[in-house]
């Protein structure tokens, strides 16, 4: 188990998971080639062995997903322990303990987001990097689901069974940061699917009623009259009707580029569905070149919005004191007295320390 409060250990685990999530297919091409392949030769190699490439990508996704689930579960278990300790500290008004526990809470929240970003990266590939699809999967629902509170075992059982086929891959949506439609999403038997997983006698009964409603064998009014003394069942039925409607609308938009938006309930049409994802490769390459001439890191802001940074491992170890002094308005070590610090002053906010402690890109 990874030490959740050891930045270097977290960094290494995220690095490995990210490699599985984003680079396993590419790695397989490189390792299985008899000679170095780059540029157009590399693309031709992928085209000539497309099926093998996809299978290796899926193998990477599957390993990444397993490790993300394990990490998120460990984090959420630790969050529960910290929360209980915080209540005890508040009861006896132990200010130092309260401060320490709140810092740990913030740290755990940040690394949970970081691990889930690896799942976001998998989802981004499954939807071919299409922002309009990503937007449809986010329903603006507040809060973070705890894996222990969902039917994870049932979802995992379905996913593991489907994923036995090397050409299949289903992603569990609850391990992503913002995907809020469906329990699973991915490729099954050559088709893109998004779906819900239900378990238990009551859920089976609900599904049977939904099927009858769709076939117009009954009406919602008749069903609610039948279960008039079971308010919980009626609430469960209404939730499932809403989920099914949302799933249907999102699927229609994904397949036809038009439909009812689930958050606004308005008719929409996607005019330019196939937008390429901006990679900012040139800007990142420029930062990498800057890093060769510095020992502290390179930083850039794209369109006054997207902040990107590259820095060596040693920077992570030294950042805390320097940036704490910076935010407090005090003096900072000479090594950090450069334009990077000046730029950082422009976007100060409460979570900057947490953000800068995370490995955006590790050299």
Q: Does the pLDDT of residue 217 top 50, yes or no? A: yes
Q: Does the pLDDT of residue 363 top 60, yes or no? A: no
Q: What is the pLDDT of residue 245?
A: 84
Q: Does the pLDDT of residue 347 top 50, yes or no? A: no
Q: Provide the Cα torsion 140, 306, 281, 121; round to 10°.
A: -30
Q: Does the pLDDT of residue 335 top 50, yes or no? A: no
Kindly report the backbone phi and psi dihedral angles of residue 260, in degrees, each rounded to the nearest multiple of 5, phi listed first.
Answer: -95, 120
State the pLDDT confidence band at 68, using cuts at 50, 70 and 90: very high
| 298 vs 86: CA distance, rounded Å | 38
Q: Does the pLDDT of residue 80 top 60, yes or no? A: yes
State the pLDDT confidence band at 329, using cuts at 50, 70 and 90: low
- Asked if 127 and 133 count as a contact pair (C-beta separation under 8 A), the reply is yes
User: Of the candidates 240, 44, 247, which has an alpha carbon nearest to the alpha carbon of residue 136?
Assistant: 247
- Asked if 308 and 299 count as a contact pair (C-beta separation under 8 A), the reply is yes
Q: Does the pLDDT of residue 70 top 90, yes or no? A: yes
Q: What is the pLDDT of residue 39?
A: 67
- Asked if 312 and 295 count as a contact pair (C-beta separation under 8 A), the reply is yes
**Of 95-99, 218-222, 225-229, highest mean pLDDT:** 95-99
- Asked if 55 and 162 count as a contact pair (C-beta separation under 8 A), the reply is no
Q: What is the pLDDT of residue 323?
A: 52
Q: What is the pLDDT of residue 212?
A: 81
In the predicted model, what is the mean pLDDT of the chain? 80
Q: Computed over its alpha carbons, how large is the radius of gyration of the chain?
A: 24
pLDDT tens per residue across span 298-318: 778 888 888 787 777 655 555
**Of 90-104, 174-188, 326-340, highest mean pLDDT:** 90-104
Q: Provide the Cα torsion 118, 120, 123, 125; round to 10°.
A: -70
Q: Which residue has the tokens 């976007």?
A: 347
Q: What is the pLDDT of residue 138?
A: 79
Q: Any residues with CB less than 8 A from the CB of 260 and at least 6 apart, and which?
A: 249, 252, 253, 266, 267, 268
Lowest average pLDDT, out of 128-132, 193-197, 309-313, goes to 309-313
Sign of CA dihedral 2, 3, 4, 7: negative
Residue 58 structure tokens: 């899926």
Q: Any residues with CB less than 8 A from the CB of 174 and at least 6 apart, and which?
A: 145, 147, 150, 152, 155, 183
Kindly report the backbone phi and psi dihedral angles of residue 14, in degrees, each rounded to the nearest multiple of 5, phi listed first.
Answer: -65, -40
pLDDT tens per residue across span 11-52: 899 999 999 999 998 888 888 776 666 667 777 878 888 889
DSSP designation for 338: S
C-alpha distances in Å from residue 36, one per residue of 28, 53, 209: 12, 17, 59
- Asked if 263 and 233 count as a contact pair (C-beta separation under 8 A), the reply is no
Sign of CA dihedral 54, 59, 63, 69: positive
| 166 vs 55: CA distance, rounded Å | 6
Q: What is the pLDDT of residue 273?
A: 64
Q: What is the pLDDT of residue 297?
A: 73
Q: What is the pLDDT of residue 35?
A: 64
pLDDT tens per residue across span 221-280: 888 888 888 888 888 888 888 888 887 887 787 777 788 887 778 888 877 667 777 778
Residue 297: count other Cβ atoms within 10 Å of its Cβ.
Answer: 23
| 173 vs 182: CA distance, rounded Å | 7
Q: Does the pLDDT of residue 327 top 50, yes or no? A: no
Q: What is the mean pLDDT of residues 70-90?
A: 96
User: Of the candidates 81, 79, 84, 30, which has an alpha carbon nearest to the alpha carbon of residue 53?
Assistant: 30
3-state SS, 156-201, equals HHHHHHHCCCCCCEEEEHHHCCCCCCCCEEEEECCEEEEECCCCCH
Q: What is the mean pLDDT of residues 121-144?
A: 82
Lowest average pLDDT, out of 55-64, 72-81, 329-338, goes to 329-338
């Amino acid at each position: 188990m990874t030490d959740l409060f050891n930045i270097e250990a977290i960094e290494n685990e995220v690095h490995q998971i990210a490699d599985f999530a984003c680079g396993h297919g590419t790695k397989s091409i490189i390792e299985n080639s008899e000679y170095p392949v780059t540029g157009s030769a590399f693309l031709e190699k992928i085209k000539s062995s497309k099926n093998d490439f996809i299978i290796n990508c899926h193998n990477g996704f599957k390993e990444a997903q397993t490790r993300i689930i394990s990490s998120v579960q460990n984090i959420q278990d630790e969050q529960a322990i910290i929360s209980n300790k915080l209540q005890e500290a508040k009861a006896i008004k132990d200010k130092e303990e309260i401060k320490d526990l709140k810092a740990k809470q913030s740290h755990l929240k940040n690394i949970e987001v970081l691990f889930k970003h690896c799942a976001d990266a998998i989802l981004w590939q499954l939807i071919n990097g299409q922002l309009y699809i990503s937007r449809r999967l986010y329903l603006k629902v507040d809060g973070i689901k705890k894996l222990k509170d969902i039917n994870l075992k049932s979802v995992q059982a379905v996913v593991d069974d489907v994923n036995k086929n090397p050409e299949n891959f289903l992603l569990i949506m609850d391990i992503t940061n913002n995907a809020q439609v469906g329990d699973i999403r991915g490729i099954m038997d050559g088709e893109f699917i998004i779906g819900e997983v239900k378990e238990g006698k009551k859920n089976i009964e609900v599904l049977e009623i939904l099927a009858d409603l769709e076939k117009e064998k009954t009406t919602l009014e008749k069903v609610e009259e039948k279960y008039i003394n079971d308010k919980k069942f009626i609430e469960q039925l209404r939730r499932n009707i809403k989920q099914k409607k949302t799933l249907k609308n999102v699927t229609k938009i994904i397949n036809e580029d038009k439909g009812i938006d689930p958050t606004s309930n308005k008719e929409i049409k996607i005019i330019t569905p196939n937008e390429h994802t901006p990679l900012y490769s040139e800007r990142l390459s420029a930062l990498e070149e800057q890093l060769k001439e510095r020992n502290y890191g390179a930083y850039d802001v794209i369109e006054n919005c997207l902040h990107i940074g590259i820095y060596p491992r040693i920077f992570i170890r030294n950042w805390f004191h320097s940036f704490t002094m910076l935010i407090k308005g005090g003096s900072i070590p000479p090594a950090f007295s450069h334009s990077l610090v000046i730029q950082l002053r422009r976007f100060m906010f409460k979570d900057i320390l947490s953000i800068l402690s995370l490995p955006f890109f590790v050299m």
